[in-house]
Structure 1
């Protein structure tokens, strides 16, 4: 039987699915011992910003696992559907003018992506595969990145308060459920980080803060759903 609440519940479920799919892949940050992941959407925002000064205009961007025969297990349970730790591969389409050699533009873009992945995020990237899709008549003008879509949550409870107090944490978020998820001996925290802090360093600090604050010193996993530039 259909109730008056039925359509509202369906709308809420649909919105939740769209939010989850909008995150893209959940990518490993650092190595197996780091217990940290970042949404592909959040990582792509940082990479697009870094590419703006390369002379190229990024089109489609995808981050996927590099080909590996053996994938190590993470030290802690990860978020649902998260990729296991291991090297990654960036695939991107780009447009550029012919005023300088395309290989030079590609080299500059590849360097910008690798540097941002390592120094601003903490992603382990082994390969960057680029494809020219368009030749432009004029030099590209970098378009401003839209603000990150952040579903902020209040830092409820001991674990939430400990995580929210770490430098570089902009807010806790709630895309995959509550901002803090508890299981026996384990805590998962979901949050947004500041763009002027390396995402992996913030995640490591959050893991330490939460483990030290919660009774029994549980294992801790961190999922970064957005990287936010300070105003």
Structure 2
């Protein structure tokens, strides 16, 4: 088996854009546990959490950062991880938000904390140990801060499930990509780390976006099972999810 890597004839400008796209993914967060062999980009996770945070009235989410809660205690993945991916371990969510005057700040923070925790664990499949929030601004009666929106505030991902500068959708090419694309919940392959499917001796890494209404962890597990069973030699499989909620209305 050979490495399925298609540079798409990129010139200098194309490679610069590709590097920006890769950096735009942020950290590659462990999705599930050590045996799940799946990762989720921090950008995709943050977009989904920002969308969930809009349910909390009286709060505007600002900066959001996801990292390992205990880097020293992280485990070893069962399969080779994507480049620079974080090892499996519980995560910590650090966030900043602005709050209005309608209720005590601790109450707003607790509601926002619960929504972020549920969004990360139930909607995405991330393991979260801590959610630490800090109030950085107060909202006026109009719901706006006199100093403008909290730093780091960004609109939730659009109906395509990800920003165009963050992921590159791709048509399936080759057996691994075709097999992965046929799994329910896979919206399309993406190419950010060089190719939608990268094949080395005894191992396959696939990169994809998941469709609205499908939990990324469950989709990744199904993709891994499909490829491990169908590909010659039963290779180990790693899945990187770069966008979620593709096809969501509104």
Give TM-score scaled by structure 1 length.
0.92
Which residue of structure 1 lines up, in the alignment, with residue 51 of structure 2? 49
Which residue of structure 1 lines up, in the alignment, with residue 156 of structure 2? 145
SS class of match (1:54): coil
SS class of match (2:15): helix
Residue 188 in structure 1 maps to residue 220 in structure 2: no
- CA distance in structure 2 between the partners assigned to 1:19 and 1:219 by the alignment: 26
Residue 16 in structure 1 maps to residue 36 in structure 2: no
1:144 to partner: Cα distance = 5.7
- CA distance in structure 2 between the partners assigned to 1:157 and 1:68 by the alignment: 37
- CA distance in structure 2 between the partners assigned to 1:223 and 1:25 by the alignment: 11
- CA distance in structure 1 between the partners assigned to 2:138 and 2:189 by the alignment: 42
Residue 119 in structure 1 maps to residue 130 in structure 2: no
Which residue of structure 2 lines up, in the alignment, with residue 174 of structure 1? 191
SS class of match (1:86): coil
Query: 1:158·1:213 contact (CA, 8 Å) conserved in 2?
Result: no
SS class of match (1:91): strand
1:155 to partner: Cα distance = 1.3
Give TM-score scaled by structure 2 length.
0.85
What whole-Å deviation, never above 9, does each CA across 1:25-53 have from its counterpart, x for those lacking one?
A: 00000110000000000000110011111
SS class of match (2:11): helix
Which residue of structure 1 lines up, in the alignment, with residue 177 of structure 2? 160
Q: 1:163 to 1:140 in 2, by over 3 A?
A: farther
1:96 to partner: Cα distance = 0.9
Deviant stretches of 4+, over 4 Å: none
What whole-Å deviation, never above 9, does each CA across 1:87-106 have from its counterpart, x for those lacking one?
A: 11000000010110111100
Gaps of 5+ in 2: 1-9, 145-153
What whole-Å deviation, never above 9, does each CA across 1:51-90 have from its counterpart, x for those lacking one?
A: 1111211000000111243221100001000000001100
Gaps of 5+ in 1: 1-7
Query: 2:207·2:239 contact (CA, 8 Å) conserved in 1?
Result: yes
- CA distance in structure 2 between the partners assigned to 1:104 and 1:166 by the alignment: 42
Which residue of structure 2 lines up, in the alignment, with residue 99 of structure 1? 102
Residue 218 in structure 1 maps to residue 218 in structure 2: no
- CA distance in structure 1 between the partners assigned to 2:141 and 2:41 by the alignment: 33
CA RMSD of aligned residues (A): 1.7
1:140 to partner: Cα distance = 4.1
Count of aligned residue pairs for this structure pair: 224
